[in-house]
Amino acid sequence: MLGRERSGVGVRVASLERTLVDVLHRPNLSGGWEEIWRSLESVEFFNFDRVVEYVLLLGNATTAAKVGFFLEQHRDGLMVEECHLRPLRERRPRQPHYLDRNGRKPGCLMADWNLVVPNDVLERSWGKVL
């Protein structure tokens, strides 16, 4: 966490890297998948060494898979390199876990990450006009 001052009061602010990991680690506190995806997609640059370092510090296999999946999905736009995906992939769950633990919505198994991803996240169905 970074320290900042606002109107003479000290405020703790999370880095973009920590925010990326935290919202994927605890999506129930982050406004839902559409909000998470849209917010993270608005960021142009992350320090992936810091992202991986924080994921490893948490020691949570499902979080490693979620972060790895997100980064892989945005590999080209964010210029994510394999050297950053590899340590996350090595720490993925041994058995399939749900991206959305609470809803357990129907989805597809992303075998590289042992992660069941809801169809609305894969298809970004929130962006479709009905």
This prediction has a pTM of 0.87
**Which is more confidently placed, 32 or 109?**
109
Instruction: Give per-residue pLDDT as tens, 71-83.
Output: 999 999 999 999 9
d(CA 67, CA 20): 8
Instruction: Give per-residue pLDDT as tens, 9-63.
Output: 776 667 899 999 999 999 988 888 889 999 999 999 999 999 999 999 999 999 9
**Mean pLDDT for the stretch of residues 64-69:** 98
Contact 116, 99 (CB under 8 A): yes
Contact 92, 113 (CB under 8 A): yes
**Which is more confidently placed, 52 or 128?**
52
| Domain coordinates in residue numbering, the chain | 2-127
The pLDDT, as a whole number, for residue 87 is 98
Longest dimension (CA), the chain: 50
